[in-house]
Structure 1
Amino acid sequence: MKYIGFILFTVLTNAAAQLMLKHGMMTLGPLSFAGVNPIFKILQIVFSPWVFLGLCTFVISMASHLFVLSKVELSFAYPFLSLAYVAVAIFAYFVFREDLNAWRIAGIAAICVGTILIAQGGSGHEVVAEPIPSSDIKTSELAR
């Protein structure tokens, strides 16, 4: 539980990135590649302000997730990422006026319950990972 703050930071930056990407794509309007060089169109999308900010936020989220993975068990840390769906669904309801019906609320509740169970039942202890020496594995052994 020592690294729960970093895990939640990863979740929130992941959710924030999704919201920024959605906003960015909404400001660009419907996509059409007709009569336009696809490479130019992709660059136009990637470098539009909100999309670019969302992608940068994803990089921050991934850096945080890599830090977390270096400290705790994967089976403990990874399920917490499902909380990003919860955050996105709630914020999308308020910001983009997206539908939040009974089925989605039930799914959100199930995700929350599952995450709580994992947090209670998982160790979340710091893991000291020893690197696998590359000299121990030979290419000829992998071919077998």
Structure 2
Amino acid sequence: MKDLLLILISVTIGAVGQIAFKLGAMQMVQNPGVTIIEKIKWPIVLGLFLYCISTILWIMALKKVELSYAYPMVSLGYILVFIASYFIFHEPINWLRMGGMLFIIAGITLVARS
């Protein structure tokens, strides 16, 4: 249970990092004469920091659980980003995407019960 919680925290932090990357990308300057350093915005730096924390937690989890159990749990990040994208970025959700998410949830459920 404690190991699963570590995995869930790692995946959640990674998903939040992905949202931060999107926010930063939306703020980037489109001027080709501007250097990459000038284009980087704070959400991108935050996303990198969150990915670093997520990776450290992931490695801690992998010390304790089988990779074949842990890795499919990364798919939870897809679901979190899918939901956040709808509410934060107002991205459309169609029936095909919803169906795909349901398949991912079913797969995660099967792996978690193993």
Fold match by TM threshold 0.5: yes
CA distance in 2, matches of 1:6, 1:21: 23
Alpha-carbon offset, residue 98 of structure 1: 0.6
CA distance in 2, matches of 1:60, 1:27: 24
Aligned to 2:9: 9
Give the secondary structure class of the aligned counterpart of 2:2: coil
Q: Which amino acid aligns with 1:9?
A: I
Distance in 2 between residues matched to 1:3 and 1:25, nearest whole Å: 33
Which residue of structure 2 lines up, in the alignment, with residue 63 of structure 1? 56
Structure-1 residue corresponding to 2:20: 20
2:38 matched to which residue of 1?
A: 44
TM-score, normalized by length of structure 1? 0.74
Superposition TM-score, scaled by structure 2 size = 0.93
Give 1:32 shift.
4.5
Equivalent position of 2:101 in the other structure:
108
Q: What is the aligned partner in structure 1 of residue 113 from structure 2?
A: 120
Counterpart of 1:55, as a letter, is L
How many Å apart are 1:67 and its aligned residue?
0.5
Q: Equivalents in 2 of 1:92, 1:10: separation in Å?
A: 19
Whether contact under 8 Å (1:45, 1:51) holds in the other structure is: no
- The Cα of 1:7 is off from its aligned counterpart by 0.7
**How far, CA to CA, are the matches of 1:45 and 1:78 in structure 2?**
33
Deviation at residue 2 of structure 1 after TM alignment: 3.4
4+ aligned runs moved over 2 Å, structure 1: 43-46
Residue 99 of structure 1: SS of its match in structure 2?
Answer: coil
State the aligned residue count. 114
| 2:80 counterpart (84, 87, 90) | 87
Partner SS, residue 71 of structure 1 = coil
Q: List runs of 5+ in structure 1 lacking aligned partners.
A: 122-144
Separation in 1 of the partners of 2:38 and 2:43? 12
Q: Aligned partners of 2:71 and 2:31: how far apart in 1?
A: 36
The letter for the 2-side match of 1:113 is: A
Q: Displacement of 1:100 after TM fit?
A: 1.1
Percent identity, aligned pairs only? Answer: 37
State the Cα RMSD in Å.
1.3
